[in-house]
Every structure is written in structure tokens, then in C-alpha cells.
Amino acid sequence: MLNVNISKIRKLSKKIGGIRAVRNCSFEIKKNSIVAVIGPNGAGKSTLFNLISGVIREDRGKIFFKGIDITKFNPAKRSNLGISRLFQRTQLFKNLTVRENLILAIDNEDTKFWKNIFGKNKLTKEKEKKVKEALKLIEMGDFENIIGRDLSYGQIRLVEFARTVLNPHELLILDEPVAGLNPRLRNKIAERLKRLKREGKTILLIEHDMDFALNLADEVIVLDKGFLIARGTSSKIRQNKKVLNAYLGD
């Protein structure tokens, strides 16, 4: 239901290198919705995502997920609760094959993964099916046995997207999910995100492709110099003078 909040951010602030990257930021993320966070370079978008996923710690404020205060939880604990994150910078295991990277995402536990690799924990048909479906989604069925370091940047991003989706989650956090991808694959990713929403998932994303973000999002949050300056539907954000000034100047 769209009137149920899966996550709440309360007065979140973070200073990095003497600069206030996020300033007293508060908002809710509605369950089963797609929320886009936009803003000019340096607005604090990636810092906000790092705070929500636990990569860095806040100076002040609180983060709640499914009614639980997760402010002091580490990234692994947040992931186990159902938060899956696609980073802006590549996080692929370069010494593993595409298939092995995907298996690791499904298991969500290193011990299970290594048991699978060394044959001590038989891969189930369900896992194999999920891997095949993920490879089909990113159109990389012929690459499943290719080592990560031999992939192009665009291919790495596709595998990372598939890993993020395969990781058990209720909240999917995506930092520039279609960066470097061609229009056809961007459309395919957009359709996959809509499908995830129909399946009951919640998606929070950053994307510099404004058409992609605004056409996809149920709600848009706009940051500028660390402040939340606007939020609303895509149509309202397109007409908001504060947003236009943030991007274009007075």
C-alpha cells in the first residue's frame, strides 16, 4: 500500500571534509513505490545513499526501516533486513565469473557461497533458474563463465544491477543504474524496475538521466547543497522554481 512507509529519515546530517554534504534531511519512503533522488552535482545524493545503506555514519539524525531504528546497524545487518544497494562505483568481484557473482548475490552469505563453489552445498534448481533469468534480463547469457576483470564497464554495470536485484530485498537502492547503458537496455531496466514495484518491492534511485528518473518515479526528492529543497510528483517537480534555479541558476 502506498500509504505505508517502509523507511523514515529524520533530521539526517553529515559533514565530509568540512563540507556539510547532507543537512537536516527528513523524508519518508512509501512502501511499493519508486522514489527518485535528484539534484545537481555536489547536492549530497550519494552521501545520503551511503548513510541509508550504512557505508558511512551520520553526524546527527535517525534512520528507520520497517519500524526499526537502524541508525547504528552496519551494512551487512541492514542488508539482512532487506536493503540491497547498487553503488555508483563498481563493486563486482573481478576474480569471479559472472555466474559466481550472481550466485553470491542470491545466497547473501559468504559461507553458503563458498560451499556452493567447492561442491559442499549443492546448487538448487531454483537458484540455477534465478541465475538464468538474471542473465537473460541483462542479455549476458553467453558471458556467464567470463571472469569479471575481462568485462567492459557497461557489462560490469549490468552484472552489478543483476546482483542487486538477486540479493533478497524489500528496499532496492540504486545509484545511477543505467549509467553507460544504451537506450534499449535503459528501457529494459526501466521495465524490470516497474515489474519489481508490481511485485511489491520499493525502489530508491539516483539517476542523472532526468527523463529516465522522472518518467519512472512515483515521487521525486530534490537535494541542493545538502538540503532537501522540494519533493512531489514528477509533474510538480518539473514546474518547481526552486528546482529550476538549482539546476540552471537564477
The residue written with cell numbers 528546482 in the block is: 243
Q: Which CATH number fits domain 5-92+170-248: 1.10.520.10, 1.20.810.10, 3.40.50.300, 3.20.20.60?
A: 3.40.50.300
Measured CA to CA, the distance from residue 133 to residue 105 in angstroms comes to 14
Which pLDDT belongs to residue 88? 63
What is the domain partition of the chain in residue ranges? Answer: 5-92+170-248, 93-150
**pLDDT for the residue numbered 3:** 55
Length of the chain: 250
Looking at residue 108, its pLDDT comes to: 57
For the residues of 90-133, what is the DSSP string, one character each? ----TTSBHHHHHHHHHH-SHHHHHHHHTTSSPPPHHHHHHHHH
- Its pTM stands at 0.84
Backbone angles phi, psi at 26, to 5 degrees: -135, 135
pLDDT for position 203:
96
Coil, strand or helix: which one is 222?
strand
**For the chain, which residues score pLDDT lower than 50?**
1-2, 110-111, 113, 120
Q: What is the per-residue pLDDT for 232?
A: 95
DSSP 22: E
Q: Write down the pLDDT at residue 231.
A: 95
Check if the beta carbon of residue 31 is closer than 8 Å to that of residue 171. Answer: no
Q: Are 246 and 221 in contact (CB under 8 A)?
A: no
* Spatial separation of the C-alpha atoms in residues 11 and 71, rounded to whole Å: 12
pLDDT at position 89 is 64
